[in-house]
Structure 1
Amino acid sequence: MGGTMADTGIPHFCNDLGVTVIEVGSKEFMCIGAKPPFDHPHIFIDLGDDDEHVCPYCSTLYRYNPALAAGEAKPEAAVWHGEPVAKSAA
Structure 2
Amino acid sequence: MTDKTMPVVELEAKDLPAHCPNPAMPLWSSHPRVFLDFDHDGEAKCPYCGTRYRLAPGVAFKHH
TM-score > 0.5 by shorter chain: yes
Tell me the C-alpha RMSD between the 2 structures: 2.8
Conserved 8 A contact 1:25-1:65: yes
SS at match of 1:41: coil
Conserved 8 A contact 1:28-1:47: no
1:1-90 → structure 2 map (5 Å cutoff): 20-26=7-13, 27-32=16-21, 34-47=25-38, 49-66=40-57
1:53, 1:32 → 2: CA distance? 13
1:28, 1:43 → 2: CA distance? 11
Higher RCO, Cα 8 Å, sep 6+: 2
2:29, 2:38 → 1: CA distance? 25
Q: Which runs of 5+ in 2 are unaligned?
A: 1-5, 60-64
2:9, 2:46 → 1: CA distance? 11
Task: Give deviations 1:38-69, integer Å, cap 9, x for gaps.
Answer: 4101001132644101111111110000457x
TM-score (norm 2): 0.56
Identity of aligned residues (%): 34
| Larger strand fraction of residues | 1
